[in-house]
């Protein structure tokens, strides 16, 4: 058992992370690359930021390789995704569904389109991506799907005006995590969710203008990387609050 685990640890990991162009996602790519020889496919829409991230990460951690998929998660199709994986990392051991979209607007002013956009990225894209990647995750034999939710979507936590679509989408993501963990356990795919508190990023500035978060993106990223690589040894189907405060 221990030998199997050590062999797994030495294996080059095939990783997909969404929302890689900035904030916690970009910092997590660097943390993962630092942790060993990793093969990472980074997904986001902003090509310039992705290219900069790739150049910086590969220069600092030459053992790791960062491949890029410039794509809008609400429009991505199975064929493009599979072709990109075949041409780059060739499999998936770890999927980090980190991309997030937030609309800060009083509930009474929200449109159906606002709700659709938020759920499209925070829930539907996660379900679609995970489903499309199932054959690869199954082949891994020890795969981990890590969903990034928010304390706003954690049952019983403080709620804030203007974030009804965002927070409820993150609650849906947490529940989806529990459902998938149950359904995918026979394929040896573990699914967990981190419901995080405030971290200083562009998204936080949009949600809480002027608020100073207790954590920088790099600090949360080091926890993401650790949990993504190790958490599925200890947890499956868990929604874990990761917060020292909520703003």
Ligand X SMILES: NC(=O)c1ccc[n+]([C@@H]2O[C@H](COP(=O)([O-])OP(=O)(O)OC[C@H]3O[C@@H](n4cnc5c(N)ncnc54)[C@H](OP(=O)(O)O)[C@@H]3O)[C@@H](O)[C@H]2O)c1
Alpha helices in 149-235 (DSSP H): 164-184, 202-207, 217-230
The answer to whether residues 76 and 126 touch, using CB atoms and an 8 Å cutoff, is: no
Residue nearest to ligand X (CB): 23
* Torsion region of 125: left, alpha or beta (phi above 0 gives left; psi -120 to 50 gives alpha): alpha
Tell me which of 53, 143, 196, 228 binds ligand X, using CB under 6 A.
196
How many residues touch ligand X under the rule CB under 6 A: the total is 29
- Respond yes or no: is residue 166 known to be catalytic: yes
Stretch 89-148 residues interacting with ligand X (CB under 6 A): 98-101, 121, 148
Stretch 40-59 residues interacting with ligand X (CB under 6 A): 44-46
Cα distance between residue 150 and residue 146, in whole Å: 13
Residue 168 found at the interface with ligand X (CB under 6 A): no
Q: Which residue is listed with tokens 């200083």?
A: 200
**In whole angstroms, how close is the CB of 4 to ligand X at the nearest point?**
32
- Respond yes or no: is residue 159 known to be catalytic: no
3-class DSSP assignment, residue 194: strand
Cα distance between residue 24 and residue 170, in whole Å: 16
Catalytic residue among 21, 149, 169, 243: 149
- Respond yes or no: is residue 170 known to be catalytic: yes
Binding residues vs ligand X (CB under 6 A)? 18-25, 44-46, 72-74, 98-101, 121, 148, 150, 196, 198-199, 201-204, 213
Catalytic positions, please? 149, 166, 170
């Amino acid at each position: 058992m221990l030998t199997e685990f050590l062999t797994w640890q030495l294996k080059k990991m095939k990783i997909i992370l969404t929302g890689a162009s900035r904030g916690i996602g970009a910092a997590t790519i660097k943390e993962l690359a630092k942790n060993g020889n990793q093969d990472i496919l980074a997904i986001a829409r902003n090509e310039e930021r992705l290219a900069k991230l790739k150049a910086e990460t590969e220069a600092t951690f030459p053992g790791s390789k960062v491949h890029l998929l410039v794509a809008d998660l609400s429009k991505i199709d199975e064929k493009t995704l599979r072709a990109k994986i075949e041409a780059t990392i060739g499999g998936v051991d770890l999927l980090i569904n980190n991309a997030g979209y937030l609309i800060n607007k009083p509930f009474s002013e929200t449109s159906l389109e606002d709700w659709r956009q938020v759920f499209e990225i925070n829930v539907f894209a996660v379900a679609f991506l995970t489903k499309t990647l199932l054959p690869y995750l199954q082949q891994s034999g020890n795969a981990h799907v890590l969903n990034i939710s928010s304390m706003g979507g954690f049952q019983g936590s403080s709620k804030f005006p203007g974030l009804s679509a965002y927070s409820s989408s993150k609650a849906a993501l947490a529940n989806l995590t529990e459902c998938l963990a149950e359904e995918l356990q026979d394929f040896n795919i573990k699914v967990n969710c981190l419901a995080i508190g405030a971290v200083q990023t562009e998204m936080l500035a949009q949600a809480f203008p002027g608020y100073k978060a207790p954590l920088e993106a790099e600090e949360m990223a080091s926890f993401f990387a650790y949990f993504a690589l190790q958490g599925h040894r200890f947890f499956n189907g868990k929604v874990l609050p990761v917060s020292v405060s909520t703003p």
